[in-house]
Amino acid sequence: MQPPRLEPDLFRPVSHSRTTLTELMIPSYANFGGKIHGGILLSLMDKVAYACAAKHAGNYCVTVTVDGVHFLQPVEVGELVSLMASVNYVGKTSLMVGIKVVAENVKSGFMNHTNTSYFTMVAKGEDDKPAQVPGLLLETPDDARRFIEAIQRKEIKTRSEQEFKEIKTNLELRQNITALLGQRCQLGFEL
């Protein structure tokens, strides 16, 4: 059975906007320890997230949040870093872009997965207001799994933010001061 034909403006396939950015890591990108600055990698992730989101949205896109930036392995000078991005989820005006970062030692051919991150982007129209984005045509079981994971990630994040907001609102220092016991801090003021 053939899937229904979809209007390209209503739904775009994940493959339409899948984007890979590859860049050589040069000495000016390194910190004093000889490893590539995390900020350089974040900047590259932001670039590939923008390219991927803008291709899907057909509009300018801005970064709203960055989730899950965990540097699992260092990146060395001389390695080729490839950032592979795909739209994992779309809302009405927002898109979640998943990014996998891999560093390749060109001499040995060894490939190292350095991190995976999730950028939430919002499409902007000519009037600089949020613009509706096309739906996402899920082409593979992995596409469907990523979409479901993104829904769950959003739900967990929303709950976590609400819980923390309640904690901040209701925190009484005198009642919770014992939370500092055994921590690497000391009070420099009287209660």
Look at the pTM and tell me if it is higher than 0.85: yes
Q: Which of 51, 2, 14 is nearest to 138 (CA)?
A: 14
Cα separation, 146 vs 48, whole angstroms: 18
What is the DSSP code (8-state) at residue 58? T
pLDDT digits (tens, 9 = 90+) for 87-117: 999 999 999 999 999 999 999 999 999 999 9
Read off the pLDDT of residues 63-89 as tens digits, 9 standing for 90 and up: 999 998 999 999 999 999 999 999 999
> From CA 101, how far away is CA 25, in angstroms rounded?
13
Report the 10 Å Cβ neighbour count for 22.
13
Task: Using alpha carbons, select from 17, 28, 73, 68 the residue that is nearest to residue 45.
Answer: 68
Give the distance from CA 27 to its chain's centroid.
26
pLDDT tens digits along 44-57: 999 999 999 999 99
- Residues 83, 32: contact at Cβ < 8 Å? no
Q: Return the structure tokens found at 156.
A: 């967990």
- At residue 191, the pLDDT reads 84
Tokens describing residue 98: 């998943």
Instruction: Answer whether residue 147 shows pLDDT above 80.
Output: yes
